[in-house]
Amino acid sequence: MKLSLKRMCTVVSSLILVLELHGVGYCESSVVLPTGKNDSVGAEQGYGEALGIYRELAKTNPQTYLPDVAMTLNNLGLLQAGKNDFAGAELGYGEALVIYRELAKTNPQNYLPFLAGTLNNLANLQAGKNDCVGAEQGYRESLQIRRELAKTNPQIYLPDVAMTLNNLGLLQAGKKDYVGAEQGHGEALGIYRELAKTNPPLYLPYVATTLNNLANLQAGKK
């Protein structure tokens, strides 16, 4: 994937990484878009109706249905981001973050992964809007959470650590923070190499992608 280092915060590649990593460890969202029909209008209507139902149910049973509210907000946010409705997506991600933060206070094991994923989604959106400060804060908080989770469950969460390092590295490269970007891509590469030893079909593509990111960075430093 080609990265133009002349543009400050262009991180289209990071979104590609997020989509590619669905099914590897924690998915950023459970969204399933009707790609065959490309019916974004129908999908948005469906998410909107589901969200309304979950909101009503959460009024009397928040413990059960607030997670569904947050999940649907994330799904809708991904759809809106794909349609360049950045304001709507940012609002949805922001509300989902508030919900997950509260849920994680009483059940961190269940909800910290979703908090980290939503932070990563929001950071991708902010990076695409050239909000480099907000994006970097989001990536760093997501990375911190995922590092902690990986200490007790590395097989599940190390892929997420590597993905977030790559996303952060792409952002840093766009800001010409070449040292930080090289460190992040280098650490991600080490993780993917280890994972590929036991599951090469799954992780070798990520080794190659990270090598490509790192090579783009090194070429841009000349």
Mean pLDDT of all residues in 57-82: 96
Q: How far apart are alpha carbons 97 and 119 in whole angstroms?
A: 7
Q: What percent of the chain has pLDDT over 70?
A: 82
The predicted-structure confidence for 104-131, as pLDDT tens digits, reads as follows 999 999 999 999 999 999 999 999 999 9
Question: What 3-state class would DSSP assign to 221?
Answer: coil
Dihedral sign computed on CA atoms, order 72, 69, 127, 101: negative
Q: Which of 14-28, 104-118, 144-158 is predicted least confidently?
A: 14-28
> What pLDDT is attached to residue 222?
63
20 pLDDT above the threshold of 70: no
Assess contact for 184 and 169: CB atoms under 8 A.
yes
* Residue 221 pLDDT grade (very low, low, confident, very high; cuts 50, 70, 90): confident
Claim: this prediction has a pTM higher than 0.75: yes
In the numeric block, which tokens belong to residue 180? Answer: 């930080």
Q: 97 CB contacts (<8 Å, ≥6 apart)?
A: 115, 118, 119, 122
Decide if 167 contacts 139 (C-beta within 8 A): yes
Task: Report whether pLDDT(31) > 80.
Answer: no
- Which amino acid appears at position 136 of this protein? E
pLDDT of 80 over the 80 cut:
yes
- Give me the domains of the chain, ranges plus CATH numbers: 12-220 (1.25.40.10)
> With pLDDT > 90 as the criterion, what percentage of the chain qualifies?
78
**pLDDT given for residue 77 in this prediction:** 95
Q: Which band of pLDDT confidence, cut at 50, 70 and 90, is reported for residue 40? A: confident
